[in-house]
Structure 1
Amino acid sequence: MLPPIDEAILKNNPDFERLYKTVTGSLLNADGSTKSNDPAAKKRDAVRDELRAHRLKATKQHLLRRAIVAAATPEASTGSAVQSKQQQQQSQLRRTRSVPQNQQPRDSVSALPPEILDLLLLLPPFLSNASSMPNSSLALILSRPPFSELNTLFPILTATLSATLSRQTKALARVLNPHTNPSYIHRSIPTLASTTADLQASISNSSNSLSRSRQRATHDLTTHLSQHARALAQLVRVLESKHGPAARSAELRAADAGLESQIWALAAEALLWDARRTVYPPEAQRALANYRRHLGDARMRLADAVRVRETELGDYGMSIIEGESGDETKERTMREIARVWREMETRLNEIKADLDRLG
Structure 2
Amino acid sequence: MFAIQALRTSRLRSAKSQFLKSALRNLDLSSTPATSTTSSNNTAPKLNRTSTQSQSSRTQSQTLPPDLLELLLLLSFYLNSPAGMLTSQQLTLLLNTPTWTCLPCHLPKISALISTHLHTHMLALCRILTPATNPSFLHRTIPKLLPTISSLQTSNLQQKAELAERRIKLATHTTTLLTLHHLATHLLIRILEQTSHGLLARHIKARSEYLALRAGQLATEVRGLKKKGERIVYSEEVKGALETYVGELRGGRERGRERRTQAERVLWGYGVGREDRGEKDRVMREIAKVYGELVREVEEVGQDVERLRGR
Range into which the TM-score falls when normalised by the shorter chain:
0.3 to 0.5
TM-score of the aligned structures, taking structure 2 as reference length: 0.45
TM-score of the aligned structures, taking structure 1 as reference length: 0.40
